[in-house]
């Protein structure tokens, strides 16, 4: 680790502590050249996969877009924000656990559908109507029948 004061690369770790949330490690260091102390933080570098759209274009995963999809589907529905946040976090964790560099937008859509099904059936149908491009009333009936069967 390079000293921020003199630029020397010979530094020594004096003390190490895990943060309260366990997500990072705090290290106190001492420079062997100038004897000054400084603090560094070590965290995991986790990257979300890129999203491959239906037309083949790629873009960075956006948690904002994911939240917006939930917001639109759940508009004026009695679902607490905490449950929505938990669903979004659940999808984010699933994506990280896959360990893939790229993921299809369809796969993310299916994850959203599964979470909406658990949260609110009306929101599930709303999202499905756009996601699956419903063409007529019969498409809605099919989804409603599937919900009633389960």
Report in angstroms the alpha-carbon separations of 72 from 66, 75, 86, 117, 145.
Answer: 10, 5, 17, 15, 23
**Dist. CA 50–CA 132, nearest whole Å:** 22
Q: Domain extents for the chain?
A: 11-43, 50-149
Q: Which pLDDT does position 21 carry in this prediction?
A: 82
Q: Which pLDDT does position 99 carry in this prediction?
A: 86
Q: Print pLDDT tens along the chain (150 aa).
A: 899 999 999 999 999 999 888 889 999 999 999 999 999 999 887 789 999 998 999 999 999 999 999 999 999 999 999 999 999 999 999 999 998 999 999 999 999 999 999 999 999 888 888 877 788 888 888 888 888 887
């Amino acid at each position: 680790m390079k000293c921020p004061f003199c630029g020397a690369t010979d530094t020594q770790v004096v003390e190490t502590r895990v943060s309260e949330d366990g997500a990072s490690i705090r290290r106190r260091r001492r420079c062997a050249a100038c004897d000054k102390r400084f603090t560094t933080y070590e965290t995991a570098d986790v990257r979300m996969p890129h999203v491959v759209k239906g037309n083949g274009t790629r873009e960075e995963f956006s948690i904002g877009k994911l939240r917006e999809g939930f917001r639109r589907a759940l508009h004026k529905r009695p679902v607490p924000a905490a449950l929505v946040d938990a669903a979004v976090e659940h999808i984010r964790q699933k994506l990280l656990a896959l360990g893939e560099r790229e993921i299809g937008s369809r796969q993310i859509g299916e994850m959203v559908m599964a979470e909406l099904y658990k949260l609110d059936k009306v929101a599930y149908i709303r999202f499905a109507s756009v996601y699956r491009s419903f063409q007529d009333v019969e498409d809605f009936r099919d989804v409603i029948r599937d919900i009633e069967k389960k």
